[in-house]
Amino acid sequence: MADFDWHSDPLTGDTRITANYRTTQNMRRFMRAHIPDFTFSRDFMAWIRANEGITLDAVVTEAKRRTDQK
């Protein structure tokens, strides 16, 4: 799945973070569909890249956890 296109391929909760992951508008739309006021931080983007293979459901769960800690 290394050729996954983060700009245009459909994103679902089962989509896994790949080695070529990029924080794209497609990803921003996906995250805001789950967390309306969501914004990416550098720390969170680094966390995503460091966790290759996790699902987008896990990314949303972590984002919610981080939001709850604020």
Per residue in 55-68, pLDDT tens? 999 999 999 999 88
- SS3 letters across the chain: CCCCCCCCCCCCCCCECCCCCCCCHHHHHHHHHHCCCCCCCHHHHHHHHHCCCCEHHHHHHHHHHHHHHC
Residue 32 CA to its chain's centroid (Å)? 10
Residue 55: strand pairing partners: 16
Per residue in 13-55, pLDDT tens? 999 999 999 999 999 999 999 999 999 999 999 999 999 999 9
